[in-house]
Structure formats: C-alpha cells, structure tokens
Amino acid sequence: MESQIEFNEERLRLVERFNQELPDLMVPESDKWEVVYKDGALSCKVKRLMALGIALRARCANCIVAQVMRALEAGATKDEILETISVNVAMSGTTGIAESLRVLKLLDELGKL
C-alpha cells in the first residue's frame, strides 16, 4: 500500500486543479461544506467522524483519507477514529476491515498509532 500522506498530498493537488478548472461547480460545493460541517447540534468533529464512517462504507479512498485528516483537524483523537472504524466494521464486515487498513496506515504515518 502506498504512502497515505503522499496519496493525500496528490489528492489535494488534484482537488485544487479541479477547483481551478471547474470553479462554477466547486464554489457552491465548497460553500455547502462550510454550512454542513460547522458546529451546530453536532460538533464539526462528530460530523467528520460520521463522514469517515460513510466514506469507509462507500469504499472511497479519497474520501477516507480526507475525512481522517479533517477529523484530526477538528480535534478527533486516535481512539475516536478507531471507534468510528469499529462501527463501520460492525456494519460492513470484512470489507470494512479492508478499507480501515488505509486509516491505520495513515494514522501510523502521522505518528498517531
């Protein structure tokens, strides 16, 4: 498995390029994310952990890495991320385990494990 940090760096470069190429699409999308992930009845951190669970279930590598990084930025701990993984595994079985390996690798590369 490739470096998840390098994967994320490439993902961020490509998203920026996507933003430049399709600003009419991406500006409203970015505005939506600002509304959705702001603190409300649920904190941004909880919303990011929820998004991670959904990303794992969707088996979206870009989404998984992005949501781990965003959850950490929002103050999520390693243990909160691992509990999010456990819920995904309970709902998804072995495919949940397979997708969660990417999260473990990223946390390890970041020195969080």
Q: Kindly state whether residue 24 falls inside one of the protein's structural domains.
A: no
Q: Kindly state whether residue 31 falls inside one of the protein's structural domains.
A: no
Token readout for 112 is: 């969080």
Q: Tell me: the pLDDT tens digits for 81-102? A: 999 999 999 999 999 999 999 9
CATH, residue 48: 1.20.1290.10
Residues 6+ apart with CB under 8 A from 51: 63, 67, 70, 71
Q: Kindly state whether residue 26 falls inside one of the protein's structural domains.
A: no
The domain total for the chain is: 1
Q: Kindly state whether residue 96 falls inside one of the protein's structural domains.
A: yes
Which residue range(s) make up the domain with 49?
4-19+42-109
Whole-prediction pTM: 0.93
pLDDT-derived band at 1, boundaries 50, 70, 90: confident
Token readout for 55 is: 């990303």
Q: Tell me: the pLDDT tens digits for 3-37? A: 999 999 999 999 999 999 999 999 898 899 999 99
| Cα 95 from chain centroid (whole Å) | 17
Burial of 13 (0-12, 13-18, 19+ CB in 10 A): exposed
Q: Kindly state whether residue 99 falls inside one of the protein's structural domains.
A: yes
Q: Kindly state whether residue 37 falls inside one of the protein's structural domains.
A: no
